[in-house]
Structure 1
Amino acid sequence: MKFNQLVTIICITMLSFCYHKRAYSADYVGVEQCVDCHQQEYNDWKTSHHNMSMRHASVESVLGDFNNATLAVNEQTHRFFKKGTDYWVNTKGPDGKFHDYQISYTFGYEPLQQYMVKFPDGRVQLIPLAWDSRDKSKGGQVWFHLYPYMEVHDEFFWTNNGQNWNYMCADCHSTNVNKNYDSKTNTYDTTWSEINVACEACHGPASDHIKWSKQPIEQNSNMGFNRNLAPKVGSWEFNKGKKILKPKQLSDSDQLNTCGQCHSRRAQLNNNHDHLKSDFFDKYMLNAITPELYYPDGQIYDEVFVLGSFKQSKMHKAGVVCTDCHNPHSNKLVAPKEAICFKCHVPNEYTAAKHSQHQEGSEASLCVTCHMPKTTYMEIDPRADHSFQIPRPDISQQIGTPNVCTSCHTKETNQWAINALAKQFPNSSYQQSDHFAIAFAQAGAGIPISGDSLSYIAQNSLEANIIRASALSRMDRFPGQNAMVAIMRGIKHQDPQIRIGAIAGSAAYPFEDRWQIISPLLQDPVFAVRTETAGALVINWQNMNANQQALLTPALNEYIEIQQFNSDRGFGLMNLANIHRAKGEVKLAELTYLKAIEIEPIFATSYVNLADLYRQLGDDDKSLVLLKKGIKNQPQSATLRYSAGLNLYRQQQLKYAIDYFTQATEIEATNAQYWYVLGLAQEKINVSKAMVSISKAYDVGRNPQHLYALCEFKIKYRDPTTQACLDRLAKIVPPQVIKQLTGG
């Protein structure tokens, strides 16, 4: 054998060894490795939403009509066509003109399918034109526009970050995703093991499982996986006289956090921490029950993807998990709806005649109709509320929240529903009982006594932890003794979301007090807790002594890692700039704000913060130029106009300041602060208009200070309605306040 031949054989052998070693030791092996042993699970999965979560655009995956189909919306025509075997769309781009874009991927399949375009910089963006994949009999098999009134400056215009797959969608729609964003070049090189949600997305990397499958069976083995996806409840038992079965035994399970990775409204903090074997909050930040996402009573408002709703429920508290109701492979229910409910709820206690009073067998008689009402998103996609609430029309009557009774019986009133429930359940201890919704609604309206109500909820162990956390997070506007006690107890709670809520609730206290309260959390074992603490405290960097700065630094460095991971978004860079500013690193702060504006020019807060930095440096002219640029790029922002008004007010240009303040109130009419400052600015020009604006501030915000200011104006200018104003104020403030105001 010649030397060259020997070298070639050795090289081939070495390459083969390296390849097989690498393949054998690789974490992710792919779905095809699972088929032979798990045929039934594979067959179930093949027809599931998980399998169809994302696909390369092909004749097998594309459901929409691309045969020169058109869709006319707002006098603009979008066209869907093919070039050979490729799929294309002609639609409006970021320049406001129509262009041809190639479809690279499909997204979902039922009841609608979306489509994605890949750009040269690695961005993958979802177009706003979707295919209604329902049967024609249901109105389907047509194109429709998800956001017909969206403009290029809207966050969710299809080429903006709100529709960016790499940041918004990839982690949940594909398996083993790495975003791979390069902040230096502002490009992506996002990778995945499998394009859709395959076996290992839930079970974890399977290479050790394959090794295990080839060895003798071990007792109590984890079968080569590092997570336990079994249900929490081993069995349920019936107790005489009870209507609902109780768990006989509970065990630890990773299932809820595994499903919750995707089926939740949350932010991703990193791509390297384990949210299963450590804590969910080591990798993700689950949203609380906030006004932007939920009604005050916890019902879903925006898309929240289940987990936040479910954590409110009695089902969650009892140990129910997803697979108690859903087949994890097909995603379908494990049994008919009522049969699932009757696994735990004694059937003869919940018959239609005995419980719902709706015709037996009708849609209205089903448990889920009243206890899991659906809200339709994306025009045609109804999603069930998983908080399993009991209808409370009495709360609807007080604060205007929806309820299923009048949602179906549209011609009836809340009082009718209250009477009907009282008649059906005369001994109910639930109807008319205290509910966190009232406190949450009052806090949203700025009612001063809200602090005490929120404090009670935050400390009530009978409430779900996510509700207690949400109560704590609302306390930032209502400092007081009771709030302080609730926050200090929340800091020590075992649930990290409650600790995070306490951090947010402590915002109103002076730095010295806040440091004393929350600084112990800088060494919290949970990543999100210690980094949220660092983010909350760093603003006071200049007020810290050397020991405090040293204690803050490790958690602050981790907080910086989160912002760097999210530096493809304006908020990530803005947060980094805020840190530089807090530390006195002015030039770095300016450059980072400018970078935030560059990568996301429609993100208004970056302009506002940089403009404030320029103000702090004494350059109001540069600040105003920047704010005007921001208004041009984001014309829907009220805060930019408000900031421009403040700038001009400082420069004594009242006419122009009032113009910007007025624009801010027109865009955001429910912002009491905008109306109040507008009134203050109007005083020197038109007192009558000033009082109207301040009155409006109180009407929309119910802040007693605004009513106090209005009465003060009326006294000052001898308004004939002064006494009526004072009488109104006297109902909500102590007598000494009136005496102070009137000089009595």
Structure 2
Amino acid sequence: MINLPKYTYSLLLVFAFNFISSEHSDAAEFVGSKACIGCHEKAYQDWQGSHHDMSMKHADSDSVLGDFNNASLASKDNKTTKVSSFFKKGRQYWVNIQGEDGQFHDYQIKYTFGFTPLQQYMVEFDDGRVQLIPFAWDSRTKAQGGQRWYNLYPEMTQKHQEFFWTNTGQNWNYMCADCHSTNVDKNFDLKTNSYNTTFSEINVACESCHGGASDHLNWAKQVNKTEMVNNVEHQSKGFDRDLSKSVKQWQSSAPNKTLTPKVIEHSQQVLVCAQCHSRRTQISNNDHVKGNAFGERYLLDLISSSNYHPDGQVYNENFVYGSFLQSKMYKSGVVCSDCHNPHTAELKLPVAALCLQCHQSENYASTQHHKHQENSTGAQCVNCHMPETTYMEVDARRDHGFHIPTPDLAKQLGTPDTCLSCHEDKNSQWSSSKVAAWYPESTVKEEKDFVAVFSAINLALNEQQLQGVASELSRISQTISYAGIIRASALTKMASVSNTNTIIAIARAVKNPDENIRLGAIEGAQSMASAEKWRILSPLLNDKVLSVRTGSAFALTSLWSNLSAQQRAQLTPALNEYITSQHFNNDRSFSHSNRGIIKAYQGKYEQAIKAFKQGITIEANFAQTYLNLSQVYYQQGQHQQSITTLQNGIKANPDDASLPFNLGLAYIRIKDKTSAAKALAKATQLAPNNSHYFYVYGLSLEQKQAGSAYKALYQAFKLSNNPQHLYALCDMQVRHKNPLAKQCLQQLAPLVPANVIQGLTQALNNG
């Protein structure tokens, strides 16, 4: 993100880099899973009824688990009870539910989604959109609390909300199809704003993982049939994917307490699984497996505060890959099929035995290690090292970071305390003392020393503290003992804190063989001075990985007005590739907004306005596009159009605080302080924990409502502990000769240099 100066706002990089390129014409064709049965009957039977098989189905008596026998579900909306019903018309399944017009309508259920521990249902509209209804069927047994309808999104009852069931947040074509079906082509038509999405098979079938099988079938016709067995290795047999294990032989070697790999060989298995088991944005239709680069097709979410806790434990669903990349398992060559049967998607062994494949029982399956009674829940490896988080109310998923519990960090920084998952009557003071006594020689504290640094990013720090954080981020990003995703995430956080050390770290990171580290460097360089930014990032314009190459092009476009003709020529090929690529996500506003940002940086304002307006047409409830359009109008001196755009944005997105905040700034620019104060007040109401909003609101009130200004500024300080906010309050009270000024100065004194207090005190006394 571009740093925002006071009282202004800038065009923002929106969401993710998104790209497209055509498939190779010589790619193998998809033939369907039934073509696999003859030679791979065991694998096919294992797959039947699995999560992959049941990922999506046509709604019929075999697939639908929910009660559609005139069942009903009551929901409350603004204290009004609304009842939805589930029923049949012949062999069809229907739901009566509130539509975007606020009225209840009958909609046919066309598809099922998943099957356990819950099943979702989808409606198909005439324009090709397939939308998930907000109600799910709890398919657990009655004894487990299941066999009931429930609302997945009880707060999402308004048309303007992203996750209202007819909006983009619940759109299968963009959000779900790539992972729940095989060989998906989204086929969005911008001219008609409609979809014609296709797939080879409706569910996750054989070729979702193995790739198109036509060449494999040709190979099979040419070899002795006795060579074909159910567990045949597929590499070099008509497939261009190696799904074998990375480690063929594990060995015991002192003083290690776990088995170690004799050799780690290259395997593409994790890349294949990661295409769906990850938190990412699809960025192309390229074959990322063939290219051995996740960034050829997807952009991975790194360790951000929205999806992870500062220690790397999962917060929002990350679907495993982002956690697994942090683990020692991944570093040691463990792949998914070491633990999971890829066809049943179940564990290969009982939980108690699974970990002991490598972690020798005499060292780990003992009270000496786990400190719990034998056969108790605390004696099970997964309960300490793979804690569960429940999503969608009933779906418990385990963290695949295989973290060592750190209750001391939980006590200090508020990260999750795994011990308290079982010991609910205790606290982190208790658990940290226990762990310290049990494992006095543990090195986990040193291994996790990045956590305090990541936590500090979200705090209000003084300049000295910020410089310390910047230096620590630099150290973390360059320390090879940390997982690559941790190092990459440290780089991304340098965008908000910078010094000489971070510049050096980013310059080194762009040369790192890990594509995630190079991507982290791009984000970390956002706030760099123009010359440094160009010097460091421009070599990435020729990077071998699509997301890195075009991501750097987008980042460097902000320098366009300062670039020489030669530099623009160097940037243009990758930038053109990026612009063309945005068409892949034409169905989302951020795609159009990204193109508008580029045109605005190039001074092509009319083209920018056209792109932003197109984005608003496609997706009215994406606030950022309104902000960007408003900014372009402001840059052209068209203040009323800027204000009108923000007002329209507020109507379409009444819950988004950034719109009234920026509307307040727009009013300040035309010196309409009364309207500015009203807009800023609304922003603080919508975002009551945003200290900056209260700060600007307080400044806007000074001339007409001094008392309210004091309250707003003090609230800003209480939320942030930022001395700048308290200084603004004291300075205002000093200028007003307010009786509370002395008290304010006493509170400010320990937080700022003595000469600041002396100056304010002198100004107060001179009055």
TM norm structure 2: 0.91
Matches within 5 A, 1:256-655: 256-431=270-445, 435-447=449-461, 448=466, 449-655=468-674
Q: CA deviation at 1:660?
A: 1.2
Q: In 1, Cα distance between the equivalents of 2:513 and 2:758?
A: 47
> Secondary structure of the equivalent of 1:104?
strand
Judge conservation of contact 1:227–1:277 (CA < 8 Å) in 2: no
The worse-fitting range, judged by mean Cα deviation, of 449-458 and 549-558 is 449-458
Letter paired with 1:373: P
User: Which position in structure 2 is the counterpart of 1:19?
Assistant: none
Q: CA deviation at 1:728?
A: 5.7
Q: Deviations over 1:410-452 (max 9, x none)?
A: 2212111111112211222324765211111101124323212
User: Which position in structure 2 is the counterpart of 1:12?
Assistant: none
Q: Give the gaps of 5 or more residues in structure 1.
A: 1-23
User: Which position in structure 1 is the counterpart of 2:680?
Assistant: 661
Q: Deviations over 1:631-689 (max 9, x none)?
A: 11111010111011112222222222112111111211222221211111011123333
User: Which position in structure 2 is the counterpart of 1:89?
Assistant: 95
Q: CA deviation at 1:76?
A: 0.8
Which residue, out of 218, 228, 247, partners 1:211? 218
> Secondary structure of the equivalent of 1:450?
helix
Letter paired with 2:611: T
Judge conservation of contact 1:177–1:190 (CA < 8 Å) in 2: yes
Matches within 5 A, 1:52-63: 52-63=54-65
Letter paired with 2:178: D
Judge conservation of contact 1:352–1:359 (CA < 8 Å) in 2: no
Matches within 5 A, 1:83-162: 83-150=89-156, 151-162=158-169
Letter paired with 1:370: C
Q: CA deviation at 1:124?
A: 0.6
In the alignment, is residue 226 of structure 1 matched against residue 240 of structure 2?
Answer: yes
User: Which position in structure 1 is the counterpart of 2:8?
Assistant: none
User: Which position in structure 2 is the counterpart of 1:163?
Assistant: 170
Q: CA deviation at 1:66?
A: 1.1
The worse-fitting range, judged by mean Cα deviation, of 533-542 and 34-43 is 533-542
Q: CA RMSD in A?
A: 2.1
Q: CA deviation at 1:225?
A: 0.4
Q: In 1, Cα distance between the equivalents of 2:702 and 2:399?
A: 49
Judge conservation of contact 1:243–1:349 (CA < 8 Å) in 2: yes
Q: In 2, Cα distance between the equivalents of 1:550 and 1:273?
A: 29
Q: CA deviation at 1:718?
A: 4.3
Judge conservation of contact 1:258–1:276 (CA < 8 Å) in 2: no
Q: CA deviation at 1:409?
A: 1.3
User: Which position in structure 2 is the counterpart of 1:201?
Assistant: 208
- In structure 2, do the counterparts of structure 1 residues 25 and 569 end up closer, same or farther at CA, with 3 Å as the change threshold? closer
- In structure 2, do the counterparts of structure 1 residues 724 and 182 end up closer, same or farther at CA, with 3 Å as the change threshold? same
- In structure 2, do the counterparts of structure 1 residues 405 and 661 end up closer, same or farther at CA, with 3 Å as the change threshold? same
Judge conservation of contact 2:120–2:132 (CA < 8 Å) in 1: yes
> Secondary structure of the equivalent of 2:34?
helix
> Secondary structure of the equivalent of 1:249?
coil
In the alignment, is residue 35 of structure 1 matched against residue 54 of structure 2?
Answer: no
> Secondary structure of the equivalent of 1:233?
coil
Q: Deviations over 1:540-589 (max 9, x none)?
A: 22222211111111111122133211110011111111111111222111
TM norm structure 1: 0.93
Q: Deviations over 1:90-140 (max 9, x none)?
A: 101111111111111111001111111111111111111111111111111
User: Which position in structure 2 is the counterpart of 1:188?
Assistant: 195
Q: In 2, Cα distance between the equivalents of 1:398 and 1:526?
A: 40
Q: CA deviation at 1:527?
A: 0.6
- In structure 2, do the counterparts of structure 1 residues 339 and 678 end up closer, same or farther at CA, with 3 Å as the change threshold? same
Q: In 1, Cα distance between the equivalents of 2:599 and 2:241?
A: 40
Q: CA deviation at 1:168?
A: 0.5
Judge conservation of contact 2:661–2:683 (CA < 8 Å) in 1: yes
Q: In 2, Cα distance between the equivalents of 1:722 and 1:439?
A: 36
Q: In 2, Cα distance between the equivalents of 1:368 and 1:677?
A: 48
- In structure 2, do the counterparts of structure 1 residues 501 and 738 end up closer, same or farther at CA, with 3 Å as the change threshold? farther
Q: In 1, Cα distance between the equivalents of 2:147 and 2:672?
A: 58
- In structure 2, do the counterparts of structure 1 residues 476 and 711 end up closer, same or farther at CA, with 3 Å as the change threshold? farther
Q: Deviations over 1:583-638 (max 9, x none)?
A: 12221111211111111111111111111212222222222222122111111010
Q: In 2, Cα distance between the equivalents of 1:426 and 1:718?
A: 58
> Secondary structure of the equivalent of 1:73?
strand
Judge conservation of contact 2:234–2:243 (CA < 8 Å) in 1: no
Q: In 2, Cα distance between the equivalents of 1:688 and 1:160?
A: 43
> Secondary structure of the equivalent of 1:444?
coil
- In structure 2, do the counterparts of structure 1 residues 275 and 183 end up closer, same or farther at CA, with 3 Å as the change threshold? farther
Letter paired with 2:50: S
User: Which position in structure 1 is the counterpart of 2:713?
Assistant: 694
Letter paired with 1:65: D
User: Which position in structure 2 is the counterpart of 1:241?
Assistant: 255
Q: Deviations over 1:52-81 (max 9, x none)?
A: 000111111111111111111111111111
> Secondary structure of the equivalent of 1:281?
helix
Q: In 2, Cα distance between the equivalents of 1:318 and 1:581?
A: 47
Higher RCO (CA-CA < 8 Å; seq separation 6+)? 2
Q: Deviations over 1:141-163 (max 9, x none)?
A: 11111111212211111110111
- In structure 2, do the counterparts of structure 1 residues 141 and 401 end up closer, same or farther at CA, with 3 Å as the change threshold? same
The worse-fitting range, judged by mean Cα deviation, of 245-254 and 556-565 is 556-565
Q: CA deviation at 1:697?
A: 2.4
Q: CA deviation at 1:716?
A: 3.2
Q: In 1, Cα distance between the equivalents of 2:514 and 2:751?
A: 37
User: Which position in structure 2 is the counterpart of 1:50?
Assistant: 52
The worse-fitting range, judged by mean Cα deviation, of 393-402 and 712-721 is 712-721
Judge conservation of contact 1:54–1:174 (CA < 8 Å) in 2: yes
> Secondary structure of the equivalent of 2:248?
strand
Letter paired with 2:240: N
User: Which position in structure 1 is the counterpart of 2:186?
Assistant: 179
> Secondary structure of the equivalent of 1:342?
helix
Judge conservation of contact 1:275–1:281 (CA < 8 Å) in 2: no
Letter paired with 1:689: S
Judge conservation of contact 1:275–1:284 (CA < 8 Å) in 2: no
The worse-fitting range, judged by mean Cα deviation, of 734-743 and 538-547 is 734-743
Aligned pair count reads 721
Letter paired with 2:244: A
- In structure 2, do the counterparts of structure 1 residues 446 and 516 end up closer, same or farther at CA, with 3 Å as the change threshold? farther
Judge conservation of contact 2:240–2:290 (CA < 8 Å) in 1: no
Letter paired with 1:102: Q
Judge conservation of contact 1:394–1:432 (CA < 8 Å) in 2: no
Judge conservation of contact 2:74–2:84 (CA < 8 Å) in 1: yes
